[in-house]
Chain A
């Protein structure tokens, strides 16, 4: 099915939820509200005509100062049988960065959601094991947010000091020849 047709179908089924449909270079993004995201995903997955059985990618985007609602969670979906794709974007406001987890629909969402939490601080309700994944568990801040400085935080991560201390302590074992 053509991507625009799919977008129309979503709009027919969930007229209240769909906020925007946009096409760029043959790829269509459908922006939806976050409240019924699991229901929408479940429907996209189960509907035989659409049959989106694969979650290719899930990631967050921070539109600080560019859009009224700051965060977006982007779902790239693909159907093996029908060979079509669609991009779903759920808006997540800054003051309450939470959205329901789609792990029940696609198991593959597990680590993607953890990464999104790690990088953007968006909480996924219903995720069984929402921990930081790429950064240490005691890291402060969420690096891919636009207000996070590119050169790193002001204060050094405290684990880094431990590493330096250990390295200094081990200096005495260095072979001096």
Chain B
């Protein structure tokens, strides 16, 4: 037989992925240079969802800027609100009362659960497992219904306030949340039976997107993405805020720093969050839900405005003159949101508006590490890598 002398022609091709692509979870665009199936170079392009939140907030009072923070990471808006409120509270030097702290901790963990199960569903969907998506959205619906019961909104909640929370929790809400915490661990097991030992899942996640602990720290990764590499860094433990120092929970750690370990970390976090919510309900103290000096920053409830003089004056002054001036200074306050470390760096020039508000978004930092994870791997693993860093583009682009 005649031998084919001419070798196969190969050349690198450039592949444009996104900004509209189901696995990019939003509007992320990647330009991939491929040599066969190997990714030689990966360049992410972000900014398609840029709304100028940092610039907008400079023209607003501290109270008005709160709803903007909902629109950062829109699937865990409650956690963003709490992060912002904590930063402003620290700037003003006020503190939320005990009951509000426990309520905030509780809703933050609910958000963590809802964010993680969206992540689980979509990540598994991208890697070819359809079923977890359907199951996880069932539980997410449950949490969103609870949010609706609590404050009337499902996604962009704006429930926490500077100095406390908007309204008190009802016994009915607590009862159904408690029922959720009883039921949810069984549901986690259900997800795990679907994919935990699945051979395809293991092949597609083990040893993919490996990043060592040292490198992960150098890149500035946070949250489960960092803990998958075995670094014990959780702001809830290291810089406890709200009621996190009064509840017991463990910080799950991975070992290998691959996609699978990060998946395990998030699954364990679901269990820990359930544990925290439970303790919050059991330990929930009685008392006020707003700090005593909060009226200087936050609008009083409408029924009080119509009934008593003080509230009417506060309302009038807040609307016409803006809130009391913040002390001059600058502050960086970080909280552990489901994606990682959300930091607010606020520079105050002594007026009622932030002079500069910087949002340190975990998704922004995590998206920047994509080239490092993808380059040298297969093109199919790009999907696994996008999923594992758990980014939301609303927060990345701000």
Contacts and interface: CB of A to CB of B under 8 A. Distances in A.
A binds B: yes
A129 to B, nearest CB: 9
A66 B349 contact: yes
Contacts of B59: 150
Nearest to A53: B217
Interface string A25-65: 10101000000000000000000000001111101011000
B220 A106 contact: yes
Contact of A59 (B217, B219, B238, B358): B358
B337 interface: no
A135 interface: yes
Q: Which of B47, B56, B59, B397 has most chain A Cβ within 10 Å?
A: B47
A115 B384 CA distance: 26
Interface in A79-135: 80, 83, 85, 87, 106-108, 110-112, 115, 119, 132-135
B218 A107 contact: yes
Contact of B50 (A25, A111, A112, A135): A135
B347 interface: yes
A115 B364 CA distance: 10
B180 interface: no
* Consensus secondary structure, chain B interface: mixed
B46 interface: yes
A56 B331 contact: no
B360 A57 contact: yes
Interface residues of A, number: 36
Nearest to B231: A80
23 contacts: A25-B93, A27-B330, A27-B332, A57-B360, A59-B345, A62-B356, A66-B349, A85-B332, A87-B332, A106-B218, A107-B218, A107-B219, A108-B368, A111-B364, A111-B365, A111-B367, A132-B47, A133-B47, A134-B397, A135-B50, A144-B55, A150-B55, A150-B59
Contacts of B231: 80
Contacts of B218: 53-54, 106-108
Interface residues of B, number: 43
Contacts of A106: 218-220
Q: Which of B231, B345, B397 has most chain A Cβ within 10 Å?
A: B345
B332 A76 contact: yes
B233 interface: yes
A171 B304 CA distance: 52
A135 B93 CA distance: 36
A132 B45 CA distance: 10
Given A76-B345, A150-B58, A57 B90 contact: no
B73 interface: no
A59 B344 CA distance: 11
Shortest 6 CB-CB contacts between residues of A and residues of B: A108-B220, A24-B329, A134-B47, A111-B368, A57-B360, A59-B358
Contact of A110 (B334, B349, B368, B397): B368
B398 interface: yes
A73 B21 CA distance: 35
Contact of A24 (B330, B356, B360): B330
